[in-house]
Amino acid sequence: MSIRYELAVDGDAAAIAELHAVSWQTAYRGILPDDVLDGDLLGERTASWARRFADRTGTLTLVARDDAGLAGFAHCVLDDDPEWGTLLDNLHVRPDLKRQGVGRRLVALTAARLRELAPGSRMYLWVIEANEPARRFYVAAGGEEAGTDIWDDHGAEVPIVRMAWRSLDALAEGTR
């Protein structure tokens, strides 16, 4: 399996939206309301990504591609928080490629790029508390739990956990 990693281009928005919707439908079943997951999630994600790609100032989006198309993506909001740094707002991998290193490589490449853009920067994300596989993934990647909150979106109040990296150095080493 040959996977290429690169910066997203404007033409990637639709494929990212589609993967984002599929990822939510598989990972968040039983966490988000069924009417959200079974409704026009693709339309909602398409509109969201069109807005994001209309002005990508202050963001970084990396994609993974294989012969079948989009294999995964990572999207960051640079310098989102003065204490926690850059927000890794989205990390999604096509379901048939999970647990094959695509997500780990996307996170490592994101960390490496962030070190270039802003040496000494930090990174954090919010993960749904009930999403145990994702939480284990981030802990294995060196993330530390650093607080909780409630995600109040799509008609549900969902407990979330902040995962944070004090330094991007070790994380970025995964690019080698």
Amino acid residing at 34: D
Q: Which of 148, 151, 152 is nearest to 162 (CA)?
A: 148
Section 133-153 average pLDDT: 90
Section 55-70 average pLDDT: 93
CA distance 33 to 45: 16
Degrees, nearest 5: CA angle 115-107-117:
20
- Residues forming beta bridges with residue 65, ordered by sequence position: 4, 70
pLDDT at 175: 58
Which residue, chain included where needed, has tokens 């599929």? 22
Predicted TM-score of the model (pTM):
0.91
Structural domains in the chain, sorted by start: 4-175 (3.40.630.30)
CA distance 151 to 145: 16
Say yes or no to pLDDT of 154 above 80.
no
Degrees, nearest 5: CA angle 76-81-87:
20
Non-local CB neighbours of 91 within 8 Å, separated by 6+ positions: 72, 73, 74, 75, 103, 106, 107, 125
Share of the chain above pLDDT 70, in %: 97
Output the six-digit token pair for 26.
């598989």
Amino acid residing at 27: A
pLDDT at 4: 96
124 contacts 85 by C-beta, under 8 angstroms: yes
pLDDT at 157: 87
